[in-house]
Structure 1
Amino acid sequence: MIDEVKRVAAFCAGGSGGEHGGNPAGVWTGAVLPAEADMQRVAAAIGYSETVFAAPDGEGAAAGWRVRYFSPESEVPFCGHATIALGAVLALEHGPGTFALRTNHASVSVESKVESGAIAASLVSPPASGTPAPRAIVDEALALFGYTDADLDERIAPALANGGAGHLILALKTRAALAAMRYDLAAGRALMRREGWATIALVHAETPRRFHARNPFASGGVYEDPATGAAAAALAAYLRDSGWPEPAIDIVQGEDMGVPCRLHAQALPGRGSAVRVSGRARLIGEGA
Protein backbone atom coordinates (compact mmCIF):
# COMPACT_ATOMS: atom_id res chain seq x y z
CA MET A 1 0.00 0.00 0.00
CA ILE A 2 2.76 2.43 0.86
CA ASP A 3 4.12 2.14 -2.69
CA GLU A 4 0.69 3.16 -4.00
CA VAL A 5 0.69 6.51 -2.17
CA LYS A 6 1.36 9.56 -4.33
CA ARG A 7 3.13 12.51 -2.73
CA VAL A 8 1.78 15.96 -3.52
CA ALA A 9 2.70 19.41 -2.21
CA ALA A 10 -0.38 21.60 -1.73
CA PHE A 11 -0.70 25.38 -1.47
CA CYS A 12 2.64 25.87 -3.24
CA ALA A 13 4.19 29.28 -3.66
CA GLY A 14 4.68 30.28 -7.30
CA GLY A 15 6.90 32.76 -9.07
CA SER A 16 9.21 33.07 -12.05
CA GLY A 17 11.12 29.98 -10.90
CA GLY A 18 8.01 27.83 -10.92
CA GLU A 19 6.16 26.12 -8.12
CA HIS A 20 8.01 25.57 -4.84
CA GLY A 21 7.25 25.02 -1.20
CA GLY A 22 3.83 23.70 -0.31
CA ASN A 23 2.63 21.33 2.41
CA PRO A 24 3.24 17.69 1.44
CA ALA A 25 0.40 15.17 1.71
CA GLY A 26 0.09 11.52 0.86
CA VAL A 27 -2.73 10.57 -1.52
CA TRP A 28 -4.01 7.00 -1.92
CA THR A 29 -6.80 6.13 -4.33
CA GLY A 30 -8.30 2.71 -4.96
CA ALA A 31 -11.46 0.76 -5.57
CA VAL A 32 -12.31 0.29 -1.87
CA LEU A 33 -11.01 2.04 1.24
CA PRO A 34 -8.54 -0.07 3.21
CA ALA A 35 -9.18 -1.13 6.80
CA GLU A 36 -8.85 1.70 9.31
CA ALA A 37 -5.80 0.12 10.96
CA ASP A 38 -4.08 -0.14 7.58
CA MET A 39 -4.79 3.50 6.75
CA GLN A 40 -3.36 4.58 10.11
CA ARG A 41 -0.29 2.40 9.59
CA VAL A 42 0.34 3.84 6.12
CA ALA A 43 -0.11 7.43 7.31
CA ALA A 44 2.43 6.84 10.09
CA ALA A 45 4.89 5.30 7.63
CA ILE A 46 4.51 8.14 5.12
CA GLY A 47 5.12 10.60 7.95
CA TYR A 48 3.44 13.65 6.43
CA SER A 49 1.07 15.66 8.57
CA GLU A 50 -1.82 14.12 6.58
CA THR A 51 -2.46 11.27 4.19
CA VAL A 52 -5.86 11.10 2.45
CA PHE A 53 -7.49 7.87 1.28
CA ALA A 54 -10.18 7.96 -1.40
CA ALA A 55 -12.39 5.37 -3.12
CA PRO A 56 -15.43 5.71 -5.44
CA ASP A 57 -18.58 6.40 -3.45
CA GLY A 58 -20.97 4.25 -5.46
CA GLU A 59 -21.11 3.52 -9.19
CA GLY A 60 -21.20 5.74 -12.26
CA ALA A 61 -19.45 8.92 -13.33
CA ALA A 62 -21.38 11.07 -10.83
CA ALA A 63 -20.75 8.80 -7.82
CA GLY A 64 -18.16 11.00 -6.13
CA TRP A 65 -15.51 9.82 -3.67
CA ARG A 66 -15.52 8.57 -0.08
CA VAL A 67 -12.52 10.08 1.74
CA ARG A 68 -10.79 9.71 5.10
CA TYR A 69 -7.83 11.63 6.49
CA PHE A 70 -5.09 10.35 8.81
CA SER A 71 -2.19 12.08 10.55
CA PRO A 72 0.73 9.97 11.78
CA GLU A 73 -1.07 9.47 15.12
CA SER A 74 -4.82 9.76 14.53
CA GLU A 75 -7.70 10.22 12.11
CA VAL A 76 -8.91 13.80 11.59
CA PRO A 77 -12.36 14.85 10.33
CA PHE A 78 -11.17 17.09 7.48
CA CYS A 79 -7.89 18.33 6.03
CA GLY A 80 -7.69 21.15 3.52
CA HIS A 81 -4.21 20.65 2.13
CA ALA A 82 -4.77 16.91 1.66
CA THR A 83 -8.04 17.72 -0.15
CA ILE A 84 -6.18 20.04 -2.53
CA ALA A 85 -3.58 17.29 -3.05
CA LEU A 86 -6.35 14.76 -3.75
CA GLY A 87 -7.90 17.16 -6.27
CA ALA A 88 -4.58 17.31 -8.10
CA VAL A 89 -4.32 13.50 -8.25
CA LEU A 90 -7.93 13.09 -9.41
CA ALA A 91 -7.35 15.66 -12.15
CA LEU A 92 -4.29 13.75 -13.36
CA GLU A 93 -6.10 10.40 -13.23
CA HIS A 94 -9.55 11.45 -14.51
CA GLY A 95 -9.09 14.86 -16.11
CA PRO A 96 -9.86 18.32 -14.76
CA GLY A 97 -13.24 18.82 -13.13
CA THR A 98 -15.20 19.12 -9.91
CA PHE A 99 -15.17 16.08 -7.64
CA ALA A 100 -17.75 15.47 -4.90
CA LEU A 101 -16.22 14.14 -1.68
CA ARG A 102 -17.90 12.55 1.33
CA THR A 103 -15.98 12.72 4.61
CA ASN A 104 -16.96 11.06 7.88
CA HIS A 105 -19.09 14.08 8.76
CA ALA A 106 -19.84 16.22 5.71
CA SER A 107 -20.08 16.56 1.95
CA VAL A 108 -17.46 18.78 0.32
CA SER A 109 -16.00 19.23 -3.16
CA VAL A 110 -12.72 19.98 -4.86
CA GLU A 111 -12.28 21.50 -8.31
CA SER A 112 -8.97 21.14 -10.12
CA LYS A 113 -7.53 22.23 -13.44
CA VAL A 114 -4.19 22.87 -15.13
CA GLU A 115 -3.05 26.49 -15.37
CA SER A 116 0.24 27.39 -17.09
CA GLY A 117 1.56 23.89 -16.54
CA ALA A 118 0.67 23.84 -12.84
CA ILE A 119 -2.31 22.29 -11.08
CA ALA A 120 -4.72 24.76 -9.49
CA ALA A 121 -7.34 23.47 -7.09
CA SER A 122 -10.05 24.88 -4.87
CA LEU A 123 -12.14 23.17 -2.23
CA VAL A 124 -15.51 24.12 -0.81
CA SER A 125 -15.43 23.44 2.92
CA PRO A 126 -18.17 22.08 5.14
CA PRO A 127 -20.32 24.79 6.78
CA ALA A 128 -17.94 27.06 8.66
CA SER A 129 -18.34 29.45 11.58
CA GLY A 130 -16.66 30.81 14.69
CA THR A 131 -17.51 32.25 18.09
CA PRO A 132 -15.45 34.09 20.74
CA ALA A 133 -13.38 31.72 22.88
CA PRO A 134 -13.94 31.42 26.65
CA ARG A 135 -11.47 33.42 28.74
CA ALA A 136 -10.12 30.39 30.61
CA ILE A 137 -9.25 28.62 27.36
CA VAL A 138 -7.52 31.72 26.00
CA ASP A 139 -5.43 32.04 29.16
CA GLU A 140 -4.37 28.40 28.94
CA ALA A 141 -3.39 28.73 25.27
CA LEU A 142 -1.46 31.96 25.86
CA ALA A 143 0.47 30.27 28.65
CA LEU A 144 1.31 27.35 26.35
CA PHE A 145 3.14 29.70 23.97
CA GLY A 146 4.40 32.18 26.55
CA TYR A 147 2.22 34.98 25.14
CA THR A 148 0.22 37.54 27.12
CA ASP A 149 -2.81 39.71 26.35
CA ALA A 150 -0.40 42.41 25.17
CA ASP A 151 0.56 40.16 22.24
CA LEU A 152 -3.03 39.91 20.96
CA ASP A 153 -4.56 41.99 18.16
CA GLU A 154 -7.55 43.68 19.77
CA ARG A 155 -9.35 43.84 16.37
CA ILE A 156 -9.76 40.04 16.22
CA ALA A 157 -10.96 38.43 19.44
CA PRO A 158 -9.70 34.89 20.19
CA ALA A 159 -12.16 32.43 18.71
CA LEU A 160 -13.25 28.84 18.52
CA ALA A 161 -13.89 28.21 14.82
CA ASN A 162 -14.67 25.25 12.62
CA GLY A 163 -14.20 24.82 8.88
CA GLY A 164 -14.54 21.05 8.87
CA ALA A 165 -12.33 20.61 11.93
CA GLY A 166 -12.09 22.59 15.16
CA HIS A 167 -9.45 25.27 15.74
CA LEU A 168 -8.59 27.89 18.31
CA ILE A 169 -7.71 31.17 16.58
CA LEU A 170 -5.33 33.60 18.27
CA ALA A 171 -4.57 36.81 16.34
CA LEU A 172 -1.21 38.34 17.23
CA LYS A 173 -0.41 42.03 17.05
CA THR A 174 3.03 41.70 15.42
CA ARG A 175 4.76 39.49 12.88
CA ALA A 176 7.67 39.19 15.30
CA ALA A 177 5.46 37.56 17.92
CA LEU A 178 4.29 35.05 15.31
CA ALA A 179 7.88 34.29 14.30
CA ALA A 180 8.79 33.67 17.95
CA MET A 181 6.21 30.89 18.39
CA ARG A 182 7.47 28.08 20.67
CA TYR A 183 5.63 25.50 22.77
CA ASP A 184 5.96 22.11 24.42
CA LEU A 185 4.65 19.39 22.09
CA ALA A 186 3.32 17.13 24.85
CA ALA A 187 1.50 19.99 26.57
CA GLY A 188 0.09 21.16 23.25
CA ARG A 189 -1.08 17.65 22.39
CA ALA A 190 -2.87 17.31 25.74
CA LEU A 191 -4.63 20.67 25.36
CA MET A 192 -5.68 20.20 21.73
CA ARG A 193 -6.94 16.66 22.21
CA ARG A 194 -8.84 17.59 25.35
CA GLU A 195 -10.58 20.46 23.55
CA GLY A 196 -11.04 18.61 20.24
CA TRP A 197 -8.96 21.05 18.18
CA ALA A 198 -7.14 19.96 15.06
CA THR A 199 -4.74 22.92 15.37
CA ILE A 200 -4.26 26.22 17.09
CA ALA A 201 -4.21 28.89 14.37
CA LEU A 202 -1.82 31.71 15.22
CA VAL A 203 -2.33 34.54 12.75
CA HIS A 204 -1.16 38.09 12.09
CA ALA A 205 -3.11 40.54 9.92
CA GLU A 206 -0.53 42.49 7.92
CA THR A 207 -3.46 44.19 6.15
CA PRO A 208 -7.20 43.46 6.22
CA ARG A 209 -6.65 41.14 3.24
CA ARG A 210 -3.14 39.70 3.79
CA PHE A 211 -2.55 37.37 6.76
CA HIS A 212 0.42 35.42 8.03
CA ALA A 213 -0.27 32.15 9.85
CA ARG A 214 1.32 29.33 11.82
CA ASN A 215 -0.53 26.17 12.85
CA PRO A 216 0.75 23.96 15.66
CA PHE A 217 -0.72 20.51 15.00
CA ALA A 218 0.22 18.70 18.21
CA SER A 219 -3.10 16.84 18.23
CA GLY A 220 -1.79 14.84 15.26
CA GLY A 221 1.73 14.49 16.61
CA VAL A 222 3.10 17.25 14.36
CA TYR A 223 4.82 20.32 15.84
CA GLU A 224 3.71 22.65 13.02
CA ASP A 225 1.79 22.27 9.75
CA PRO A 226 3.20 24.38 6.86
CA ALA A 227 -0.26 25.11 5.36
CA THR A 228 -3.66 24.35 6.81
CA GLY A 229 -6.69 24.67 4.54
CA ALA A 230 -9.24 23.73 7.20
CA ALA A 231 -7.86 26.41 9.53
CA ALA A 232 -7.93 28.92 6.65
CA ALA A 233 -11.63 28.13 6.15
CA ALA A 234 -12.29 28.49 9.88
CA LEU A 235 -10.46 31.84 10.00
CA ALA A 236 -12.22 33.26 6.93
CA ALA A 237 -15.61 32.16 8.28
CA TYR A 238 -14.98 33.74 11.68
CA LEU A 239 -13.84 36.99 10.07
CA ARG A 240 -16.97 37.03 7.88
CA ASP A 241 -19.30 36.31 10.80
CA SER A 242 -17.65 38.98 12.97
CA GLY A 243 -17.91 41.75 10.33
CA TRP A 244 -14.32 41.87 9.02
CA PRO A 245 -14.12 44.32 6.09
CA GLU A 246 -12.64 41.84 3.57
CA PRO A 247 -14.70 38.79 2.47
CA ALA A 248 -11.61 37.15 0.94
CA ILE A 249 -8.14 36.83 2.44
CA ASP A 250 -4.70 35.73 1.27
CA ILE A 251 -2.67 33.71 3.75
CA VAL A 252 1.12 33.44 3.78
CA GLN A 253 2.21 30.39 5.73
CA GLY A 254 5.22 28.11 6.18
CA GLU A 255 7.86 30.82 5.83
CA ASP A 256 9.12 30.37 9.40
CA MET A 257 9.64 26.69 8.56
CA GLY A 258 11.41 27.39 5.26
CA VAL A 259 8.44 25.93 3.37
CA PRO A 260 6.64 28.84 1.66
CA CYS A 261 2.92 28.31 1.13
CA ARG A 262 0.12 30.47 -0.22
CA LEU A 263 -3.62 30.06 0.41
CA HIS A 264 -6.62 32.08 -0.72
CA ALA A 265 -9.84 31.85 1.29
CA GLN A 266 -13.16 33.29 0.09
CA ALA A 267 -15.99 33.17 2.63
CA LEU A 268 -19.27 32.49 0.86
CA PRO A 269 -22.21 34.79 1.74
CA GLY A 270 -24.31 34.01 4.78
CA ARG A 271 -23.39 33.39 8.40
CA GLY A 272 -22.24 29.81 8.85
CA SER A 273 -21.85 29.18 5.11
CA ALA A 274 -18.94 27.33 3.54
CA VAL A 275 -15.59 28.81 2.52
CA ARG A 276 -13.78 28.31 -0.79
CA VAL A 277 -10.05 27.71 -0.22
CA SER A 278 -7.74 27.75 -3.24
CA GLY A 279 -4.12 27.02 -4.02
CA ARG A 280 -1.67 25.35 -6.36
CA ALA A 281 -0.22 21.85 -6.17
CA ARG A 282 2.70 19.87 -7.56
CA LEU A 283 3.82 16.27 -7.50
CA ILE A 284 6.92 15.65 -5.41
CA GLY A 285 9.37 12.80 -5.44
CA GLU A 286 9.34 9.89 -3.04
CA GLY A 287 11.16 10.76 0.15
CA ALA A 288 10.79 14.54 -0.40
Structure 2
Amino acid sequence: MTETVLRYAAFTDPDRADAAAGGNPAGIVLHASGLGDAAMQAIAAEVGYAETAFVTEPAVDGDPRHSRLRFFSPVAEVPFCGHATVATAVALAGRDGTGTVTFETNVGAITITTRATDAGTTASFTSVDPRAAILDPGVLGTLLGLLGVTAEALHPDYPPRLAYAGNWHPVIVFADQAGFDAFTFDPAAMRALMDAQGWAGTVTTLVPTGAAEFEARNLFPVGTITEDPATGSAAASVGGYLRELGLVAPPARVVIRQGRHVGRPSLLLVDVPAVGGIVVSGTAVDIA
Protein backbone atom coordinates (compact mmCIF):
# COMPACT_ATOMS: atom_id res chain seq x y z
CA MET A 1 0.00 0.00 0.00
CA THR A 2 1.81 3.12 -1.24
CA GLU A 3 -0.94 5.73 -0.90
CA THR A 4 -1.01 7.78 2.30
CA VAL A 5 -3.91 6.60 4.44
CA LEU A 6 -5.08 8.76 7.33
CA ARG A 7 -6.85 7.07 10.21
CA TYR A 8 -9.54 8.90 12.14
CA ALA A 9 -12.20 7.78 14.61
CA ALA A 10 -15.57 9.45 14.04
CA PHE A 11 -18.42 10.00 16.48
CA THR A 12 -16.14 9.85 19.49
CA ASP A 13 -17.74 10.79 22.81
CA PRO A 14 -16.06 14.03 23.94
CA ASP A 15 -17.27 13.54 27.51
CA ARG A 16 -15.10 10.45 27.93
CA ALA A 17 -11.50 10.80 29.06
CA ASP A 18 -10.56 8.03 26.61
CA ALA A 19 -12.54 9.49 23.70
CA ALA A 20 -9.97 8.41 21.10
CA ALA A 21 -10.55 4.79 22.12
CA GLY A 22 -14.18 5.12 21.04
CA GLY A 23 -15.91 6.09 17.83
CA ASN A 24 -15.73 4.28 14.52
CA PRO A 25 -12.33 4.13 12.78
CA ALA A 26 -12.20 5.14 9.13
CA GLY A 27 -9.40 5.21 6.62
CA ILE A 28 -9.07 8.34 4.48
CA VAL A 29 -7.13 8.78 1.24
CA LEU A 30 -7.14 12.48 0.36
CA HIS A 31 -5.34 12.03 -2.98
CA ALA A 32 -7.10 9.22 -4.82
CA SER A 33 -7.69 10.77 -8.25
CA GLY A 34 -5.21 8.36 -9.84
CA LEU A 35 -6.63 5.22 -8.27
CA GLY A 36 -8.90 2.76 -10.04
CA ASP A 37 -11.62 0.71 -8.42
CA ALA A 38 -9.39 -2.32 -7.88
CA ALA A 39 -6.69 -0.23 -6.20
CA MET A 40 -9.19 1.45 -3.87
CA GLN A 41 -10.72 -1.91 -3.00
CA ALA A 42 -7.28 -3.33 -2.23
CA ILE A 43 -6.41 -0.40 0.03
CA ALA A 44 -9.72 -0.70 1.91
CA ALA A 45 -9.12 -4.42 2.41
CA GLU A 46 -5.63 -3.80 3.74
CA VAL A 47 -6.78 -1.02 6.08
CA GLY A 48 -9.46 -3.38 7.39
CA TYR A 49 -11.83 -0.77 8.82
CA ALA A 50 -15.55 -0.90 8.11
CA GLU A 51 -14.99 1.77 5.44
CA THR A 52 -12.21 3.79 3.87
CA ALA A 53 -13.06 7.07 2.09
CA PHE A 54 -11.32 8.14 -1.11
CA VAL A 55 -11.27 11.72 -2.42
CA THR A 56 -11.32 10.90 -6.13
CA GLU A 57 -11.79 14.51 -7.31
CA PRO A 58 -10.45 17.19 -4.96
CA ALA A 59 -11.96 20.27 -6.65
CA VAL A 60 -15.16 19.67 -8.60
CA ASP A 61 -15.60 22.46 -11.20
CA GLY A 62 -12.51 24.11 -9.74
CA ASP A 63 -14.08 24.63 -6.29
CA PRO A 64 -11.58 23.56 -3.59
CA ARG A 65 -14.43 23.02 -1.11
CA HIS A 66 -16.34 20.67 -3.42
CA SER A 67 -14.95 17.13 -3.66
CA ARG A 68 -15.99 13.77 -5.00
CA LEU A 69 -15.92 11.00 -2.39
CA ARG A 70 -16.22 7.22 -2.69
CA PHE A 71 -16.37 4.62 0.07
CA PHE A 72 -15.12 1.05 0.15
CA SER A 73 -15.55 -1.60 2.83
CA PRO A 74 -12.97 -4.40 2.90
CA VAL A 75 -15.10 -6.36 0.41
CA ALA A 76 -17.12 -3.93 -1.74
CA GLU A 77 -17.93 -0.33 -2.58
CA VAL A 78 -20.56 1.21 -0.28
CA PRO A 79 -22.93 3.89 -1.66
CA PHE A 80 -22.62 6.13 1.40
CA CYS A 81 -20.85 6.05 4.76
CA GLY A 82 -21.65 8.58 7.47
CA HIS A 83 -18.72 8.04 9.82
CA ALA A 84 -16.15 8.18 6.99
CA THR A 85 -17.86 11.37 5.73
CA VAL A 86 -17.44 12.97 9.16
CA ALA A 87 -13.85 11.74 9.43
CA THR A 88 -12.93 13.08 5.98
CA ALA A 89 -14.52 16.46 6.70
CA VAL A 90 -12.58 16.79 9.96
CA ALA A 91 -9.34 15.78 8.24
CA LEU A 92 -9.92 18.41 5.52
CA ALA A 93 -10.77 21.01 8.18
CA GLY A 94 -7.39 20.34 9.77
CA ARG A 95 -5.73 21.00 6.45
CA ASP A 96 -7.91 23.75 4.95
CA GLY A 97 -9.77 25.27 7.89
CA THR A 98 -13.31 24.76 9.17
CA GLY A 99 -16.43 25.71 7.24
CA THR A 100 -18.86 24.16 4.81
CA VAL A 101 -17.88 21.69 2.10
CA THR A 102 -19.80 19.56 -0.37
CA PHE A 103 -19.08 15.93 -1.10
CA GLU A 104 -20.39 14.36 -4.30
CA THR A 105 -21.20 10.75 -3.42
CA ASN A 106 -22.85 7.84 -5.19
CA VAL A 107 -26.15 8.79 -3.50
CA GLY A 108 -25.94 12.50 -4.33
CA ALA A 109 -24.41 15.68 -2.97
CA ILE A 110 -23.85 15.81 0.79
CA THR A 111 -23.29 19.13 2.54
CA ILE A 112 -21.16 18.99 5.68
CA THR A 113 -20.12 21.77 8.04
CA THR A 114 -17.17 21.65 10.42
CA ARG A 115 -16.62 23.94 13.38
CA ALA A 116 -14.16 24.22 16.23
CA THR A 117 -15.65 23.50 19.66
CA ASP A 118 -14.32 22.93 23.17
CA ALA A 119 -14.66 19.21 22.44
CA GLY A 120 -12.59 19.44 19.26
CA THR A 121 -13.63 19.68 15.63
CA THR A 122 -17.27 18.76 15.11
CA ALA A 123 -18.79 17.88 11.76
CA SER A 124 -22.47 17.89 10.75
CA PHE A 125 -23.71 16.36 7.52
CA THR A 126 -27.15 16.69 5.98
CA SER A 127 -28.39 13.45 4.45
CA VAL A 128 -30.28 13.03 1.22
CA ASP A 129 -34.06 13.08 1.70
CA PRO A 130 -34.96 10.05 3.82
CA ARG A 131 -37.76 7.60 3.21
CA ALA A 132 -39.20 4.50 4.82
CA ALA A 133 -40.78 1.32 3.51
CA ILE A 134 -42.56 -1.72 4.90
CA LEU A 135 -40.26 -4.59 5.85
CA ASP A 136 -41.56 -7.76 4.25
CA PRO A 137 -43.01 -10.01 7.01
CA GLY A 138 -41.14 -13.06 5.72
CA VAL A 139 -37.84 -11.18 5.67
CA LEU A 140 -38.56 -9.81 9.14
CA GLY A 141 -39.21 -13.32 10.40
CA THR A 142 -35.91 -14.51 8.96
CA LEU A 143 -34.08 -11.57 10.51
CA LEU A 144 -35.61 -12.13 13.94
CA GLY A 145 -34.76 -15.81 13.68
CA LEU A 146 -31.11 -14.94 13.02
CA LEU A 147 -31.18 -12.76 16.16
CA GLY A 148 -32.74 -15.60 18.16
CA VAL A 149 -35.79 -13.54 19.18
CA THR A 150 -39.50 -13.40 18.40
CA ALA A 151 -41.76 -10.47 17.57
CA GLU A 152 -42.75 -10.30 21.25
CA ALA A 153 -39.27 -8.90 21.99
CA LEU A 154 -39.96 -5.79 19.91
CA HIS A 155 -41.30 -2.46 21.15
CA PRO A 156 -44.98 -2.07 20.26
CA ASP A 157 -44.63 1.68 19.62
CA TYR A 158 -41.79 1.32 17.09
CA PRO A 159 -42.82 -0.95 14.20
CA PRO A 160 -40.06 -2.56 12.11
CA ARG A 161 -39.35 -0.72 8.88
CA LEU A 162 -36.79 -0.30 6.14
CA ALA A 163 -35.33 3.20 6.39
CA TYR A 164 -33.20 5.07 3.88
CA ALA A 165 -31.00 8.17 4.08
CA GLY A 166 -28.24 7.07 1.71
CA ASN A 167 -28.29 3.33 2.47
CA TRP A 168 -31.25 1.04 3.22
CA HIS A 169 -31.29 -0.14 6.84
CA PRO A 170 -33.82 -2.46 8.44
CA VAL A 171 -34.74 -0.81 11.76
CA ILE A 172 -35.68 -3.10 14.67
CA VAL A 173 -36.52 -1.59 18.09
CA PHE A 174 -36.37 -3.79 21.19
CA ALA A 175 -38.83 -3.43 24.04
CA ASP A 176 -36.26 -3.66 26.83
CA GLN A 177 -32.57 -3.36 27.54
CA ALA A 178 -32.14 -7.00 28.54
CA GLY A 179 -33.33 -8.33 25.20
CA PHE A 180 -31.30 -5.76 23.32
CA ASP A 181 -28.11 -6.65 25.18
CA ALA A 182 -28.60 -10.41 25.00
CA PHE A 183 -29.20 -11.15 21.32
CA THR A 184 -26.48 -12.82 19.28
CA PHE A 185 -26.19 -13.75 15.62
CA ASP A 186 -24.13 -15.76 13.19
CA PRO A 187 -22.13 -13.25 11.09
CA ALA A 188 -22.05 -15.41 7.94
CA ALA A 189 -25.80 -16.05 8.01
CA MET A 190 -26.50 -12.36 8.63
CA ARG A 191 -24.22 -11.35 5.75
CA ALA A 192 -26.00 -13.81 3.46
CA LEU A 193 -29.38 -12.25 4.33
CA MET A 194 -28.05 -8.72 3.87
CA ASP A 195 -26.56 -9.57 0.49
CA ALA A 196 -29.75 -11.30 -0.63
CA GLN A 197 -31.80 -8.22 0.32
CA GLY A 198 -29.33 -5.72 -1.10
CA TRP A 199 -28.75 -4.04 2.27
CA ALA A 200 -25.46 -2.21 1.70
CA GLY A 201 -25.66 -0.53 5.11
CA THR A 202 -26.14 -2.07 8.53
CA VAL A 203 -28.93 -3.94 10.25
CA THR A 204 -29.99 -1.34 12.79
CA THR A 205 -31.24 -2.42 16.21
CA LEU A 206 -32.26 0.06 18.90
CA VAL A 207 -33.63 0.31 22.40
CA PRO A 208 -35.16 3.50 23.87
CA THR A 209 -33.16 4.80 26.83
CA GLY A 210 -34.97 8.11 27.45
CA ALA A 211 -36.98 10.82 25.77
CA ALA A 212 -35.60 10.99 22.21
CA GLU A 213 -32.61 8.89 23.29
CA PHE A 214 -31.61 5.44 22.07
CA GLU A 215 -28.81 2.94 22.28
CA ALA A 216 -27.97 1.28 18.96
CA ARG A 217 -26.28 -1.88 17.78
CA ASN A 218 -25.60 -1.81 14.06
CA LEU A 219 -24.79 -5.22 12.63
CA PHE A 220 -22.24 -5.14 9.81
CA PRO A 221 -20.50 -8.49 9.33
CA VAL A 222 -17.59 -7.87 6.97
CA GLY A 223 -14.10 -9.28 7.35
CA THR A 224 -13.31 -9.45 11.06
CA ILE A 225 -16.04 -6.91 11.91
CA THR A 226 -19.44 -8.02 13.22
CA GLU A 227 -20.91 -4.78 14.66
CA ASP A 228 -20.24 -1.18 13.70
CA PRO A 229 -19.12 1.10 16.58
CA ALA A 230 -20.90 4.17 15.11
CA THR A 231 -23.03 4.41 11.98
CA GLY A 232 -23.84 7.85 10.60
CA SER A 233 -25.97 6.64 7.70
CA ALA A 234 -28.04 4.51 10.09
CA ALA A 235 -28.45 7.47 12.46
CA ALA A 236 -29.78 9.57 9.58
CA SER A 237 -32.10 6.73 8.57
CA VAL A 238 -33.36 6.44 12.15
CA GLY A 239 -34.11 10.18 12.15
CA GLY A 240 -36.11 9.76 8.94
CA TYR A 241 -37.87 6.68 10.34
CA LEU A 242 -38.91 8.54 13.50
CA ARG A 243 -40.25 11.47 11.47
CA GLU A 244 -42.05 9.28 8.92
CA LEU A 245 -43.88 7.39 11.67
CA GLY A 246 -44.67 10.52 13.73
CA LEU A 247 -42.57 9.31 16.66
CA VAL A 248 -40.86 12.69 17.11
CA ALA A 249 -42.23 16.22 16.71
CA PRO A 250 -39.86 18.17 14.45
CA PRO A 251 -37.69 20.03 14.92
CA ALA A 252 -36.25 17.47 17.30
CA ARG A 253 -32.85 16.32 18.48
CA VAL A 254 -32.31 12.60 18.95
CA VAL A 255 -29.31 11.24 20.87
CA ILE A 256 -27.91 7.86 19.83
CA ARG A 257 -25.23 6.03 21.77
CA GLN A 258 -23.54 3.09 20.10
CA GLY A 259 -20.43 0.93 20.31
CA ARG A 260 -20.62 -0.25 23.92
CA HIS A 261 -21.02 -3.86 22.81
CA VAL A 262 -17.78 -3.75 20.79
CA GLY A 263 -15.74 -1.70 23.28
CA ARG A 264 -15.78 1.59 21.32
CA PRO A 265 -18.41 3.87 22.90
CA SER A 266 -19.71 6.45 20.45
CA LEU A 267 -22.09 9.42 20.39
CA LEU A 268 -24.21 10.56 17.44
CA LEU A 269 -26.47 13.63 17.53
CA VAL A 270 -29.37 13.57 15.10
CA ASP A 271 -31.38 16.69 14.27
CA VAL A 272 -34.73 16.04 12.61
CA PRO A 273 -36.21 19.01 10.73
CA ALA A 274 -39.81 19.18 9.58
CA VAL A 275 -38.79 18.46 5.98
CA GLY A 276 -35.68 17.55 4.02
CA GLY A 277 -32.52 15.74 4.96
CA ILE A 278 -31.57 14.62 8.47
CA VAL A 279 -28.57 16.32 10.11
CA VAL A 280 -26.10 14.04 11.90
CA SER A 281 -23.29 15.52 13.99
CA GLY A 282 -20.24 14.21 15.79
CA THR A 283 -16.59 14.73 16.55
CA ALA A 284 -13.65 12.95 14.97
CA VAL A 285 -10.03 12.54 16.08
CA ASP A 286 -6.79 11.43 14.44
CA ILE A 287 -5.88 7.97 15.74
CA ALA A 288 -2.82 7.33 13.58
Quick check: TM above 0.5?
A: yes
* C-alpha deviation, 1:207, in angstroms: 2.0
1:131 offset after TM fit, Å?
2.4
| Contact 2:48/2:223 (8 A) holds in 1 | no
Q: CA–CA distance in 1 between the matches of 2:241 and 2:114?
A: 26
CA change 1:33–1:135 in 2 (3 A) is farther
Q: Deviations over 1:130-188 (max 9, x none)?
A: 12312111101100110111110010100001110011000001112121131111111
Percentage of pairs with the same residue: 36
Give me the whole-angstrom Cα distance separating, in 1, the residues matched to 2:80 and 2:155.
28
The answer as to whether partners of 1:33 and 1:53 remain within 8 angstroms in 2 is: no
> Given the superposition, is the C-alpha separation of residues 33 and 133 from structure 1 closer, same or farther in structure 2, using an over 3 Å criterion?
farther
Q: Distance in 1 between matches of 2:244 and 2:165?
A: 13
Aligned with 1:10: secondary structure? strand
- For 2:216 and 2:16, the matched residues in 1 are separated by 24
Whether the aligned pair in 1 keeps the contact of 2:171 and 2:203 (CA below 8 Å) is yes
- TM-score normalised to structure 2 length: 0.93
Mapped pair 1:61 → 2:66: no
CA displacement, residues 54-83 of structure 1 (integer Å, 9 cap, x when unaligned): 132434335611110000111110000000
1:86 Cα offset (Å)? 0.5
Moved more, 136-145 or 110-119: 110-119
Offset of residue 283 of structure 1: 0.4
1:164 and 1:219 mapped to 2: Cα distance? 19
Instruction: Tell me the number of residue pairs that the alignment of Structure 1 and Structure 2 aligns.
Output: 283
TM-score (norm 1): 0.93
Secondary structure of the corresponding residue to residue 122 of structure 2:
strand
Whether the 8 Å CA contact 1:71–1:220 is kept in 2: the answer is: no
1:141 aligns with 2:146: no
The alignment status of 1:7 with 2:7, answered yes or no, reads yes
Residue 170 of structure 2 aligns with an amino acid whose one-letter code is L
Match of 2:242 in 1: 239
CA distance in 2, matches of 1:8, 1:2: 18
C-alpha distance in 2, partners of 1:45/1:16?
Answer: 30
Bigger drift between 31-40 and 89-98 goes to 31-40
How many angstroms apart in 2 are the aligned matches of 1:162 and 1:267? Answer: 14
Letter of the 2:216 partner, please give it: A
Report the CA distance between 1:242 and its aligned residue. Answer: 0.6
* 1:43 match: 44
Of residues 197, 203, 208, the one that matches 1:205 is: 208
Match of 2:87 among 78, 85, 88: 85
**Could you tell me which amino acid in structure 1 is paired with residue 134 of structure 2?**
P
Task: Return 5+ residue gaps in structure 2 as ranges.
Answer: none
Report the counterpart of residue 196 of structure 2 in structure 1: 194
List aligned pairs for 1:20-39, cutoff 5 A: 20=20, 21-30=22-31, 32=33, 34-39=35-40
- Structure 1 unaligned runs (5+)? none
Q: Does 1:260 align with 2:265?
A: yes
**How many angstroms does 1:248 deviate by?**
2.2
